[in-house]
Structure 1
Amino acid sequence: MFVRYLVSTFILLAAMTLCAHAQQVISVPRADGASTPLTIYEPVTSSVCAPLALISHGAGGSEKAMPYLGTALSKEGWRVLIMGHNESGIGPLRANIQALGFKQGLVKLVTNADAYRARFGDIDAAIKWSEQRCHAPYKVLLGHSMGAMTVMLDAGAQNKLGLKTAARFDAYVALSPQGPGVVFPPGAWQSIRAPMLLITGTRDQGLDGDYHWREQAFAGLGPGCRWLAVIDDATHLDFGGLGKSAKVEAATATLTIAFLDSLRGGHCATPPTLAGVNLQTK
């Protein structure tokens, strides 16, 4: 069952570029000489330098991921850059699958330390491009699946890959976060200090368990501004914009905007009450 689920994930990821629409797609230089594709959603209305939201896709994805979130944030005055991570996009995932089968091929990709180093380089390139236009007053990193791993790593989570990072963002949002397993040891999240929103769903299956496994990341966080949302019937694909669930996309966008708006206002608010969403806070 899980392998069939992963196969359907792969097929939908491969088709993603055919169904996503965005404002502008560009390529920016990376420090190592490679390039980073960016989908840019400029704020709908802004008379000053907008806050910056970087979005990191999952394994096998591209810069055309999660258009629903880019659109929603841009309408709220954010400049949104959805990064394409070439070293963990559809090409590397396909090669791993052909060599190892789907599950082991996916595991190989999400445990590749060099793939995350390349993702950190993409983040640097995206920030540099944005800062050349104006200095953002507030910066957040959002990610789904492998992108959520990237979020946790950047925020300072301990890991099994030997990666050392320092929190560079004012806040973080992890969609389909991971519990202990192939990347994170038990207690990996205790050292994270920045505010963090975690969102999963009751049908959000992962490599090492269901949504209860994903909830362990929230349980491992120390005190601070932390929200955990579990959306009824939401699947892994829904958060990536591939499940075609308008309800899940709307709830995810609403929670993300409410969380970030409260932080930019200088406080950690009580989450909004949404039908079909179970919420916890710290």
Structure 2
Amino acid sequence: MKVILRPGVMLMAMLACSGTPAAESTQVQRADGAMTPLLVYEPASAKACPPLLLISHGAGGSEQGYAYLARAMSEDGWRAIVMGHRESGNASLRADVRQHGLKEGIGVLVTDAHAYRARFMDIDAATQWAEKRCHAPYRALLGHSMGAITVMLEAGATNRLGVQGKGGFDAYVALSPEGPGRVFPAGAWAPIHAPMLLLTGTRDGGLDGDYRWRTQAFDGLGPGCHWLGVIDGSSHLNFAGVGLSGKTETATVSLVRSYLDGLRGGHCGEPPHLAGVEVRNK
């Protein structure tokens, strides 16, 4: 008898053979009664409650994304949770693109205040779920693209949408951050005081500019433990693990680990020296 394994089953089998723990899929209830899907990557071994890293996907994404980063952080001792944001997932993006076209459809979704309020509830629900397991000694929020906007809003950035997250994380990481434009006015990042790591790539263009437009978010931050990494040749989707993303994934994991582990140790640390990566700090 011939047995055919689906790609997802094959992946689970490979992880089991390699000794890497598989992610746990679950759903948690939000404040409005809706369910938030989570993919939870537990550390292989933890003698105490591990630090918590929540990961927020971009427009059209899901909790199935960013496995490379979540798995690497779980191997580093973190409980990494990728959240699914249904109001800004694949179905919502497709609907906006059908109605407005690709570029403007994305623009409609990433400026939807309701979608961000839903994301804030997803973050609250995921945090409460993790806290019921144990009280994390350190908590960080990471997001890519629309998730990076979410990170900035949670951290306290001024915005044109009239929304505000609760904040309260010890550190933030923004992959492909937005510069001034549809969501953020000039000077939007000055109110942010918490540590923040920002990453982009030289091919990481956005709706309102190229990667240099994205670096303006770093320029707008006040004094503090902030890093900006620019990866040569990295595109927008590479940070989501799409395309020829090996270099981007390796650099992203190295920078995120170094930054967050340094902060957990009580100091800002020094950025690692990586080939093809320019890092600024302040």
TM-score by length of 1: 0.92
Q: Does 1:39 align with 2:15?
A: no
Cα deviation, residue 24, structure 1? 1.7
Q: Which runs of 4+ in 1 moved over 2 A?
A: 17-22, 164-167
Contact kept, 8 Å, 1:20 with 1:64, in 2: the verdict is: no
Instruction: Report the alpha carbon displacement of residue 244 of structure 1 after superposing the two structures with TM.
Output: 3.4
**Residue 18 and residue 94 in structure 1: after superposition, are their counterparts in 2 closer, same or farther (change >3 A)?**
farther
CA change 1:264–1:35 in 2 (3 A) is same
* Secondary structure of the structure 1 residue equivalent to 2:215: helix
Query: Cα gap change, 1:36/1:198 in structure 2, threshold over 3 Å: closer, same or farther?
Result: same
C-alpha displacement of 1:45: 1.7
Q: Following the alignment from structure 1 to structure 2, what is the Cα–Cα distance between the partners of residues 88 and 35?
A: 14
Question: What is the alpha-carbon root mean square deviation over aligned residues?
Answer: 1.6
Give the distance between the partners of 1:238 and 1:19, measured in 2 at CA. Answer: 23
Q: What amino acid does structure 2 have at the position aligned with 1:52?
A: L
Distance 1:89 1:236 in 2: 17
Q: Which string of whole-angstrom CA distances, capped at 9 and with x for unpartnered residues, describes residues 91-143 of structure 1?
A: 01111111111111111100000000000000000001100010000000000
Tell me which amino acid in the other structure corresponds to 1:103.
K
> What is the match of residue 177 of structure 1?
177
Q: CA deviation at 1:23?
A: 1.3
Structure showing greater radius of gyration is: 2
Q: What pairs with 1:156-175 in structure 2 (closer than 5 Å)?
A: 156-175=156-175
Q: Who is 1:188 aligned against?
A: 188
Q: Which residue number corresponds to residue 281 of structure 1?
A: 281
Q: Which residue does 1:48 correspond to in 2? A: 48
The 5 Å alignment of 1:1-282 reads 23-282=23-282
1:25 Cα deviation (Å)?
1.2
Q: Which runs of 5+ in 1 are unaligned?
A: 1-16
**SS of the counterpart of 2:130?**
helix
TM-score (norm 2): 0.92
Contact kept, 8 Å, 1:38 with 1:82, in 2: the verdict is yes
Identity, in percent, stands at: 61
Which blocks of at least 5 consecutive residues in structure 2 are unaligned?
1-7, 13-21
Amino acid of the structure 2 residue aligned with 1:93: L
Check conservation: 2:120, 2:165, Cα contact below 8 A.
Answer: no
- Tell me, yes or no, if the aligned pair for 1:63 and 1:82 is still in contact at 8 Å: yes
Kept in 1, the 8 Å contact 2:29–2:36? The answer is yes
Deviation at 1:243, TM superposition (A): 2.3
SS at match of 1:182: coil
Residue 212 of structure 1 aligns to which amino acid in structure 2? R
Q: How has the CA–CA distance of structure 1 residues 166 and 23 changed in structure 2, closer, same or farther, with 3 Å as cutoff?
A: closer
- AA aligned to 2:184 is F
Q: Secondary structure at the match of 2:223?
A: coil
Shift of 1:242: 1.1
